[in-house]
Structure 1
Amino acid sequence: MTPARRPDAAGSSVLSTVVDFRGGSAMIPASRDIVQGFVGRLAEAGVTTSAEFLDAARLVASELVTNALRHAPGPCRLVLTLVEEQVEIAVSDTGEGFPTFLPRDPLRVGRHGLEIVTRLCDEVITKPHAQGKTVYARLPLS
């Protein structure tokens, strides 16, 4: 996982955003706003994205933050990083449980977030750490 550099300035800093949330439902819409600001920074740096990228990135971040809110006590962290031709959306929380896939059920209302994230992203992995876990999702720019 080598972070990409800004295309217009070799050796400049990695494009990344880190936000810590204390909890509460307000962090869900806030995560979408943070993604929108980050995508604006990508455009300013000359990074081209598809027409659908912003909506997809906002949805992925929102779903991951929602899962953290629902399944883990305490704070969570949202990290957005440009990595090669993708944006890595990482959400860390203090929960010990790992995300699990539910069997396909077209009658189930809700609880489809992980399905949505894996459908949109090239890669979704979960890594444990000392106090919780981080879910990393790689969304292609185009």
Structure 2
Amino acid sequence: MVQAEQGEGRESLADRQIAVSAALDSSEEIAEARALARSFLQDVQAVHGLPVSARAMGMVQLVVSELVTNARKYAPGPCLLALEVANGAVEVTVWDSSSDLPLARAADPDRVGQHGLEIVMAVCRSIEVHRDPVGKRVKASVALADDPGDHAAGRQIG
């Protein structure tokens, strides 16, 4: 896994881009991707002073695991993982070389596996899928802090 951090050397927290990225080229690195997400969020809290709820810590690691697993399983070659803090959330972006867009399948209690995208959609503020000139990007947003109304994904239901 090759990592790169952005945002170093700037003076104002308001202007600072808080981000990290990694290239992953084997299935064994899925655990490393989760560890990178955990370390990144620990730094967001300890170094940058932004609140990160226990729920956010777990959900970001889950989203990273699901998206990277799908990229490694369904696309040839390496995938790229990027984590960035924006608008009170962590944006998890995974690029892979396949142009096939993922689709959430209809709920089926008898189906074993293939629930990853359903899970990601359930725990995230938003999810976007875009084709690139080569491959695609899946971007999911997870709220950093728990919603004051204690709504699971930081959304107001009403």
Normalization by structure 1: what TM-score? 0.90
Say yes or no: does 1:10 pair with 2:14.
yes
SS in 2 for 1:90: strand
Q: How many residues are treated as equivalent by the alignment?
A: 134
Q: Which residue number in structure 2 is paired with residue 139 of structure 1? A: 142
Q: Which residue number in structure 2 is paired with residue 40 of structure 1? A: 42
Displacement of 1:83 in angstroms is 0.6
CA distance in 1, matches of 2:24, 2:132: 18
Large movers: runs of 4+ above 2 Å: 8-11
Displacement of 1:141 in angstroms is 1.0
Q: Which residue number in structure 2 is paired with residue 124 of structure 1? A: 127
SS in 2 for 1:39: helix
CA distance in 1, matches of 2:103, 2:13: 41
Q: Which residue number in structure 2 is paired with residue 3 of structure 1? A: none
SS in 2 for 1:97: coil
Q: Once the two structures are aligned, what percentage of the paired residues are identical? A: 35
Displacement of 1:107 in angstroms is 1.1
Cα deviation, 1:38-96, whole Å, max 9, x if unaligned, reads 00110121010222111111000000000001111111000000011110000000001
Cα deviation, 1:94-122, whole Å, max 9, x if unaligned, reads 00100111111011111100011000101
Larger relative contact order (CA 8 Å, sep ≥ 6): 1
In structure 1, the gaps of 5 or more residues are 1-5
Q: Which residue number in structure 2 is paired with residue 56 of structure 1? A: 59
CA distance in 1, matches of 2:142, 2:72: 21
Is contact 2:128-2:139 (8 Å) kept?
A: yes
Could you tell me which amino acid in structure 2 is paired with residue 106 of structure 1? Answer: P
Is contact 2:96-2:135 (8 Å) kept?
A: yes
In structure 2, the gaps of 5 or more residues are 1-9, 146-158
Q: How is 1:75-90 mapped onto 2 (pairs within 5 angstroms)?
A: 75-90=78-93
CA distance in 1, matches of 2:120, 2:100: 18
Displacement of 1:124 in angstroms is 0.4
Normalization by structure 2: what TM-score? 0.81
Q: Which residue number in structure 1 is paired with residue 7 of structure 2? A: none
Q: How is 1:65-76 mapped onto 2 (pairs within 5 angstroms)?
A: 65-76=68-79
Q: How is 1:110-121 mapped onto 2 (pairs within 5 angstroms)?
A: 110-121=113-124
Aligned CA-pair RMSD: 1.3
